[in-house]
Structure 1
Amino acid sequence: MNEHGGGCHCGNIRLRFSTELDPSQIEVRACQCDFCIKHGSRAIADPDGRLIVAVEDEARLHRYRFGLRTADYLICRDCGVYVAAVTSDDRKPRAIVIVNALDDRSLFVCEPVAVDYDAESREGRVARRRARWMPVKIL
């Protein structure tokens, strides 16, 4: 497994993304919702990989929900960095990681694919995330 570390700016949230894929093979998605556009979000996931999110101080972690409320968007309350999104209503949580929050972000060279999920139903969104997002553990 290849490991890619990262986290928020102040260090309260640390990330460890593990994948067998070379960074140049991983599709980068640029969601077109207002939240993601305003954050300049570029998201990646490997359904066969995994993400570990380690939080030093849970009180400084903000879990933001909007729209269909099917995911928690993890943002550091101190430095404001958006690091990942995690399914919020699933027994087996799945996640995406934000490329900009990774220390070696320059290795993820695929041109971001603009994606628009506004027309998805709640069920369709949950199914897509189960298929395309990766297992996650929050410590």
Structure 2
Amino acid sequence: MNEHTGGCHCGNVGLRFSTELDPTQIEVRACQCAFCIKHGSRAVADPDGRLIVSVEDEARLHRYRFGLRTADYLICRDCGVYVAAVTSDDRNPRAIVIVNALDDRPLFSREPVAVDYDAESREGRVARRQARWMPVEIQSAFNG
């Protein structure tokens, strides 16, 4: 497994993205919603991989929801870095990781594919994320 680490700027949120794929093989997506455009988001996921998000202080992690409210967009309250998005289904959580929050971001060199999901229904969005996003575990200092 290849492991890519990173996190927010102040260190409150850490990331560990594990995948068998080489970074040059992974499709980089540039969502065209207003939130992602304003953040310059470039996201990746490997349905066969795994993301671990570690949080030092949960009170400093903001979970922003908008639109169809099917995902939490994880943003550090202190430094403002958008690190990942996680489905709001706690039974089978899935995630994308934001390339800009990874330490080795230059390795993800594929040109981002512009994607627009505005026409998706709630059911379609949930199904796409279950199929294309990766398993995620969120660990806090309290549940380790």
Normalised to the residue count of structure 2, the TM-score between the two structures is 0.95
User: Relative to structure 1, is the Cα distance of residues 128 and 68 closer, same or farther in structure 2, using a 3 angstrom cutoff?
Assistant: same
2:96: which partner in 1? 96
Give CA-to-partner distance per residue, 1:98-128, whole Å, 9 cap, x none.
0000000000011000000000000000000
- What percentage of residue pairs aligned between the two structures are identical? 91
Number of the residue aligned with 1:28: 28
Q: In the TM superposition, what are the counterparts of 1:107-118 in structure 2 within 5 Å?
A: 107-118=107-118
Which digits, 9 at most, give the CA deviation of each residue in 1:17-59, with x for residues without a partner? 0000000000000000000000000000000000000000000
Q: In 2, distance between residues paired with 1:68 and 1:90?
A: 16
Partner of 2:71: 71
Instruction: Give, in whole Å, the separation in 1 of the partners of 2:66 and 2:97.
Output: 18
Whole-angstrom CA distance in 2 between matches of 1:105 and 1:92: 27
Q: What TM-score results when the alignment is normalised by the length of structure 1?
A: 0.99
The alpha carbon displacement at 1:90 in A equals 4.4
Q: CA–CA distance in 1 between the matches of 2:30 and 2:2?
A: 23
- Secondary structure at 1:84's aligned position in 2? strand
Give the Å deviation of 1:14.
Answer: 0.2
Moved segments of 4+, more than 2 Å = none
The separation in 2 between residues aligned to 1:41 and 1:28, in whole angstroms, is: 10
* Distance in structure 1 (CA, Å) of the matches to 2:136 and 2:89: 13
CA RMSD of aligned residues (A): 0.5
Give 5+ residue unaligned stretches, structure 2: 139-144
SS in 2 for 1:14: strand
Displacement of 1:89: 2.3
